[in-house]
Amino acid sequence: MSTSDDIDSKIRDLKDIWEGKKTPPPRACPKCAGPMQSQYYRGKVTWVCLHCGKTTYGGPLEGFSRLSNSKKIGKYFLHGLAFSLIILVLAFAWIFATVFLVLFGFLIGLIVALALLVFMIGGINTFVSGLVWGFHMKVSAVSIFLHGLALSLVLLVVGLVTIIPLILLGQGFVYVLLLDIMLCFVYGFVGEKIAEYWIE
């Protein structure tokens, strides 16, 4: 077999593994060195240790699974902080656009403005997920819109949950600061988990 044929064969083998046509090669658990069993998770190959239960991912999530918990926590905060700052800056442009659309389009303008907000949220999280975690994200208009819709619904629930103690306990500077810091971790965790569904 020629070198080019050998390379083509290896490429086909890798492609078959990710498409589920062939069993991935065995690997040892990085935690306990026990045997790991391959299975499928969200359309991607994962390995689960038969001894300690540790799960590692193949393909685009493999790098994520190798991060220590402390690094993940730090990246969650960075993700949430970057997401919050970018959306804060773009919020002014969105408010201006919303006023314009509502004045000239009334109900249709409001619907378009909300759709624009969803698309903006999806686009921001797509960008931040690639920047912080190194994910290769789907960037089609439909993918970004659905990404933004899913994330918007989760963030709406988070907002409703966090606004209740804010009203009950007051709006002192220290409390608001601690709440904002906590929300950076929450936004980062939620943003990363939602982004996993739109990884290429």
* Sequence-distant (≥ 6) Cβ neighbours of residue 170 within 8 angstroms: none
Q: What is the domain partition of the chain in residue ranges?
A: 3-65, 69-198
Strand order in the sheet with 36-41: 36-41, 44-49, 55-57
Cα separation of 85 and 92, whole Å? 12
In order along its 200 residues, the chain shows pLDDT tens digits of 455 555 455 445 554 555 444 566 677 887 788 888 777 655 466 778 888 888 777 666 767 777 888 999 999 999 999 999 999 999 999 999 999 998 988 889 899 999 999 999 999 999 999 999 988 899 999 999 999 999 999 999 998 888 777 777 666 777 778 888 999 999 999 999 999 899 87
pTM over 0.85? The answer is: no
Cα separation of 100 and 102, whole Å? 6
Helices and strands per DSSP (H, E), number in the chain: 5, 3
What is the rounded radius of gyration, in angstroms, for the C-alpha atoms of the chain? 21
Q: How many CB atoms lie within 10 A of CB 200?
A: 10
